[in-house]
Structure 1
Amino acid sequence: MALKGVNTPDGRPSTTKFSAGKNNNQPGGVTFLKEEDILKTVKARMEGKAKDTQAEKQEEEEEIIASKSESQDKPQEAVEEKLQPGFPIAAESEGVTMSVQSVRYSGGDLLLKVKMRNKGADSVRFLYSFLDVTDDKGRTLSAITEGLPSELPAKGQEFTGTVSIPTALLDDVKKISLALTDYPAQKLKLQLADIPVEK
């Protein structure tokens, strides 16, 4: 009985408007769905899922076929990379060879396919943070190496890796140079100059 006369304070008109709006919307805003409509939508979704699973199976099969065809195409791509004019570019020092097999742009990076081998009698260690990459204007470029070992074993196998350089650094650059020395002895110096990087 005591709460019958209690209303929202007059000093807060925004809340009264909000509550009044709520009260006005409630009777007309609530709509009940028919059971038949719900069952129809559920059946449609279930059938859609079944269709989706079939479509997914087809997509997976297509992806498998595509991956097989890509794996078959990969040797051809490798051959195409080796056929780039002016490649490979190689350097040798103290029995250690380093060569750039190909250059290609992928995403936002320039990727250099690099091969290294140690034909000498002693193993050689490298720190690739000391890899000097410069453009044809003498500016130093930042580069990231992947797949190249920190130590080349004596009379060992050939190792392949990549050196990636952001394309944003290569505006108006036609050629780049690489220089790498062993660590810590610094007895050998591998220099690869005039690597063409034009798009």
Structure 2
Amino acid sequence: MKLNATVALTLVLLAMMLGAGFVSAIWGFTVGHEALKGVTQPDVRPTNKLAGSKRATLGKEGVAMLREADILNNVYSQVNGKGKNAKTEKKEEEVKSDREPTTETKTPEAQTNQPEFPITSQDKGVKLEVRGARQQSGSLLLNVSLKNESGSAVRFLYSFLNVTDDQGRALSAVTEGLPGELPANGENFSGTVSIPSALLEDAKQLSLTLTDYPDQKLQLKMSGIPVVQ
């Protein structure tokens, strides 16, 4: 009796487990089916992808196909238009060149301006004269002379010799050959005034002033001394 009851209980439990498993399977399938509604499998075929993308592109952009006749007409018009424009521009340039007067550039004739020497200054019987100028050993040399026709000797301190250019710049100068005391005998005494060429730069003319020492009664002045090259 006990054995039969055990077997019966085992069969009942087994039937309940099978029934519970079947019910769980049905319920899971139903839930999964409801969840997957509206979900479709993507089309992975390459031909369908290309066709679909082409239709989408045409639909979005709306590309209009041009006829071959229209294309040829446009090309022909552009070519003829450019040719006409080029011819028109060429004709306009020719007409403009014919209207404009021809201007000949004449080269100015070279003029040689010779320095006008001597340049003279005289005061109270004393005469200062610049007879010429030349460039030598990096200096401008002025050939000068002094003559005293007054009744008394005159003294000079040549460090007081003032030389300026046409730019208003004072220039240093060295005097050689002229006497410190000029006798009243009417004799010409020659010498030179040396000015470094580096100081002259773009100077064109010089001015010179000399006075006696120490009385400073004489004022020997001259300007327009050309700077020869």
Is the shorter-chain TM-score for this pair beyond 0.5, marking a shared fold?
Answer: yes
Separation of aligned partners in 2, 1:159 and 1:126:
13
Aligned length, in residue pairs: 116
Separation of aligned partners in 2, 1:185 and 1:111:
28
Give % identity. Answer: 59
> 1:161 corresponds to which residue?
191
Bigger proportion of residues as strand: 1
> 1:151 corresponds to which residue?
181
Shift of 1:120: 0.3
**AA in 2 matched with 1:93:** D
**Secondary structure of 1:185's aligned partner:** coil
Larger radius of gyration: 2
Matches for 1:17-96 after TM superposition, within 5 Å? 85-96=115-126
**Secondary structure of 1:165's aligned partner:** strand
Asked if the contact 1:144–1:164 (Cα under 8 Å) also holds between the matched residues in 2, the reply is yes
Separation of aligned partners in 2, 1:172 and 1:145:
23
RMSD: 0.9
Asked if the contact 1:175–1:194 (Cα under 8 Å) also holds between the matched residues in 2, the reply is yes
**Secondary structure of 1:164's aligned partner:** strand
- 1:11-61 Cα shifts (integer Å, max 9, x gaps): xxxxxxxxxxxxxxxxxxxxxxxxxxxxxxxxxxxxxxxxxxxxxxxxxxx
> 1:192 corresponds to which residue?
222
Shift of 1:85: 3.2
The alignment status of 1:171 with 2:209, answered yes or no, reads no
Shift of 1:192: 1.2
Separation of aligned partners in 1, 2:136 and 2:150:
34
- 1:90-122 Cα shifts (integer Å, max 9, x gaps): 000010000100000001110000011000001
> 2:171 corresponds to which residue?
141
Separation of aligned partners in 2, 1:155 and 1:147:
18
Corresponding residue to 1:122 among 143, 146, 152: 152
**AA in 2 matched with 1:129:** S
**AA in 2 matched with 1:164:** S
Moved segments of 4+, more than 4 Å: none
Q: State TM-score, norm by structure 2.
A: 0.50
Separation of aligned partners in 1, 2:115 and 2:170:
25
- 1:47-87 Cα shifts (integer Å, max 9, x gaps): xxxxxxxxxxxxxxxxxxxxxxxxxxxxxxxxxxxxx5310
**Secondary structure of 1:191's aligned partner:** strand
Asked if the contact 2:144–2:191 (Cα under 8 Å) also holds between the matched residues in 1, the reply is yes
Asked if the contact 2:156–2:181 (Cα under 8 Å) also holds between the matched residues in 1, the reply is yes
Asked if the contact 1:173–1:198 (Cα under 8 Å) also holds between the matched residues in 2, the reply is no
Segments of structure 2 that go 5 or more residues without pairing to the other structure are: 1-113
Segments of structure 1 that go 5 or more residues without pairing to the other structure are: 1-83
Shift of 1:158: 0.4
Separation of aligned partners in 2, 1:109 and 1:137:
19
Shift of 1:138: 0.9
Separation of aligned partners in 2, 1:189 and 1:155:
20
